[in-house]
Each structure stands twice: as C-alpha cells, then as structure tokens.
Amino acid sequence: MPVEAIGADLRAFAAVDEAEDPLPLIRALDEGKAYPGMRTAEEAIAAALRLEGATAVLDVGCGLGADAIAMAGRVPQGARVTGLDLSRTMVAEARLRAARAGAAVSFEVGSALELPFSDGEFDRCRAQTLLQHVPDAPRAIAEIARVLRPGGRAVAFEFDLGTTVLDHPDRATTRTILDYVTDAALQGWIGRQLPRLYREAGFTEVTVHPHPVPNDFAFFLFTMRRPLAQLVKDRVLTARQVIAWKDRLEQLHEDGHYLGGTTGYLVSATKA
C-alpha cells in the first residue's frame, strides 16, 4: 500500500476553499460532531458560556454552523447569534443548514485575525478548535477581546496534540510519529498554551478544564496522510516502517483493540 493512501492533515481544515473536493472535509466535520467525547465537550462549552444571560453571541471559526444553530435555541428571546468562518464554502453550507432548521443565526465570511465587527459588539464569544489552524494565536485572542464588552465571556476549546495516546505494540515508531505530527502542526501545543495566552490578552477569571476525547479510528487515519507522507520524505522513517506501523494499527482496529485519544482543554475567561 502506498504511503499516499494513508488518510489529509489537519491543515486542510484551514483551507477548505482550496480543496478540489471539500465534501470529504465537510463529511469529516459532521462525523466528528457525533463522537461521544466531543458531544460532552460541547455541552461543557455551552455551560461555560452562560448563554441564559447573553444578548449577542459570536462563534469564531463556526465551520458548518452546528454550534451557532444550537446556541440560537438556547439564548434568550431577542438575543443575536453570529457565526464567522474563513471559508466561503463552510459559510454557504452553514446558511443552508440554518435556513432548514429555521434558526435565527447570521453567518459571515471573515478572518479571526481581523474580525469584521465593532469594538464591544458581543457579550459572549465561542472558539472551538479554531486556534490550532491560526498562524498568530495571540492576535486572534486579542481580536476576541476587542469585540467583547467589558464583563463579556470568552470560551475556547483546543486539542493539545502532544497529549495524544495510541496503543500500538511498536512503541518507538509510535513515539516518533506522534512527536513528528505534533511538531509539524501549526499549533500542536495550543491546548496547554490557552490559559497563558488568555491571561496575556488581559482576560481575568481564567479557568481551565481538560477533556480527554477518544480518537475515532477513521478520522485519525484521515488526518494522518500528509504528515506520514512528509515524515517519509524527510527520511525520519522509511516507507516500509510507516506502512508496517499502519497495517498493525488497522489489524488492532479489526480485532477490536484500537484505542487512541487526545486531550482537549476548555478555557473560560472574562473580559476585564
């Protein structure tokens, strides 16, 4: 089996509009929403936002809009919910889904590094698995602070790739692969950095809660193709080693023994 047949890396989700076929990425996001671990994390995010007191809510990096649509059903009557994403493809799909659901949500195309909103326009801001795709995380957090009113709440959830665990008999190769993937990611350690970054941006009452999330086998392989191929190109491992490692992982999965997971960190903070 060629290395190229192994699965797109996470960076593909930051450039959906550049994909020849965005449907696999859209499908992967939809499937990710179904993971029990993610549903638990998303309920914790919603609770941390304290939506019962919200008047204007922003979801930065809203993707397909599922969370913005869900929030529209939780906020008080008359409250405004806005989703923003860099991808025109994602925003178009989010608008369609909101219309089908009859949800009062507006969606905008824009960058987290330059939010197209006025200072203090929102009193709640949600950012889930956004900063792992952003080249300048402090700037994105500063923008969130700018558009929040004093006393507004910001809630972020990010995975820390350095916490990924995987049961595999070849420990040495597994360590090499996981460390390489973490270091090659745009923001591989963003989970552990969140509390510090929000404090440095001037937020107060910063709290952090870890959420271990099991990795779906198919999604894990889907995100590994480019890193594994690049690892071979960089001569960190041979193609034979990578293919043998993947074949053994697939066998574990077929035998019902696959276990993998990554810890996400949920940070809640208040705009001073």
Residue 181 lies in a domain: no
Buried b / exposed e along 58-78 (16+ C-beta atoms within 10 A): bbbbbbbbbbbbbbbeebeee
Structural domain total, the chain: 1
Residue 5 lies in a domain: no
Residue 238 lies in a domain: no
pLDDT (tens, 9 = 90+) of the chain, 272 residues, equals: 333 333 345 556 666 766 777 777 777 777 777 777 788 999 999 999 999 999 999 999 999 999 999 999 999 999 999 999 999 999 999 999 999 999 999 999 999 999 999 999 999 999 999 999 999 999 999 999 999 999 999 999 999 999 999 999 999 999 999 999 999 889 999 999 999 999 999 999 999 999 999 988 988 887 888 889 999 999 999 999 999 999 999 999 999 999 999 999 999 999 99
Residue 35 lies in a domain: yes
Distances in whole angstroms, Cα of residue 85 to Cα of each of 62, 92, 95, 206: 5, 10, 12, 25
DSSP string computed for the chain: --GGG----GGGGG-GGG-S--HHHHHHHHHHHT-HHHHHHHHHHHHHHTGGG-SEEEEET-TTSHHHHHHHTTSPTT-EEEEEES-HHHHHHHHHHHHHHT--EEEEE-BTTB-SS-TT-EEEEEEES-GGG-S-HHHHHHHHHHHEEEEEEEEEEEE-GGG-EE--S-HHHHHHHHHHHHHHSTTTTHHHHHHHHHHHTTEEEEEEEEEEEEPPHHHHHHTTHHHHHHHHHTTSS-HHHHHHHHHHHHHHHHTT---EEEEEEEEEEEE-
Which pLDDT belongs to residue 3?
Answer: 37
Which pLDDT belongs to residue 25?
Answer: 75
**151 is in which domain, residue-wise?**
12-164+187-215+261-271
Residue 169 lies in a domain: no
Residue 83 is part of a domain; what is its CATH number?
A: 3.40.50.150
**125 class by beta-carbon count within 10 Å (0-12 exposed, 13-18 middle, 19+ buried):** buried
Contact (Cβ atoms closer than 8 angstroms) between residue 57 and residue 49: yes
Which pLDDT belongs to residue 9?
Answer: 52
CA distance 41 to 26: 20
Q: What is the pTM of this model?
A: 0.89
Residue 137 lies in a domain: yes
CA distance 56 to 122: 5
Which pLDDT belongs to residue 28?
Answer: 73
Residue 250 lies in a domain: no
Which pLDDT belongs to residue 4?
Answer: 35
Which pLDDT belongs to residue 8?
Answer: 44
Residue 241 lies in a domain: no
